[in-house]
Amino acid sequence: MEENLDKLQDALGYHFNNVGLLKHALTHPSFSNENGEPKEASNQRLEFLGDAVLELISSVFLFNRTPVLQEGVMTKVRAALVCEPTLAEAARKVNLGDYIILGKGEAREGINNRDSVISDAFESVIGAMYLDGGLEPAEKFVKTFVLSDIENTGLYRDAKTVLQEYVSQNKMELEYRVIEETGPCHDRFYRVQAILNDKAYGIGEGSSKKKSEQGAAYQTLKQIKAETGYVFKIY
């Protein structure tokens, strides 16, 4: 475990003074519940703190951005920057899902790389980093993994709308196809793929078809931008 955490810390670009904080940030509620530990033994409280730290850092970043952005635009862009799919994408850059500590049942289901799980863990790591070293390392981390590609990330805000406009302008056909649907009625999990002119594009996932379609549209916009150089206006 210690060796694995060393590898993770290398990827994070920050080595903890108190490695226990990092372990805490990686502990999914299913593990603490399974072992009869109190709720605070999971990463949920650190996630709460990390969410606040992330919002502060991204708010200051957008406030200082030039050209100056108006309040309404900053609110919308910030929402895109800190939403579940974009945080999950940032978490995958450091393979965070490989280190999440799950209960046995959840581990068998392989949920450690679901957007909801790794985005929560990502925020928990930010919270742990803030407690361990203060705002400076947390800010450096967020700028590196979340704020370094604001043009792409900002696309998520209106991804379905932007993609539909592009499709209409280019006289293409768009379909969102459910490729996975699992879980009980009260806890469904969907994976959806965008299909353009019968060609498979981006995949999105989430607890609803709507959320999954939004993620699929976002990934598709990024793919189109990479393949064609087309620039989508985000604000």
The residues pairing with 190 across neighbouring beta strands, listed in sequence order, are 181, 206
| DSSP 8-state assignment for residue 225 | H
Give yes or no: 123 in active site.
Answer: yes
- Enter the tokens of residue 66: 């030039």
Q: For tokens 């985000």, what's the residue?
A: 234
Beta strand 189-196 pairing with 199-206? antiparallel
Give yes or no: 51 in active site.
Answer: yes
At 228, give phi and psi (nearest 5°).
-115, -20
The residues pairing with 203 across neighbouring beta strands, listed in sequence order, are 193
The enclosing H or E element of 141 equals: helix 135-145
Catalytic-role residue among 106, 115, 120, 123 = 123
Q: In terms of Cα–Cα distance, which of 166, 163, 171 is closest to 213? A: 163
The enclosing H or E element of 63 equals: helix 44-63
Catalytic-role residue among 51, 98, 109, 149 = 51
Catalytic center residues: 51, 123
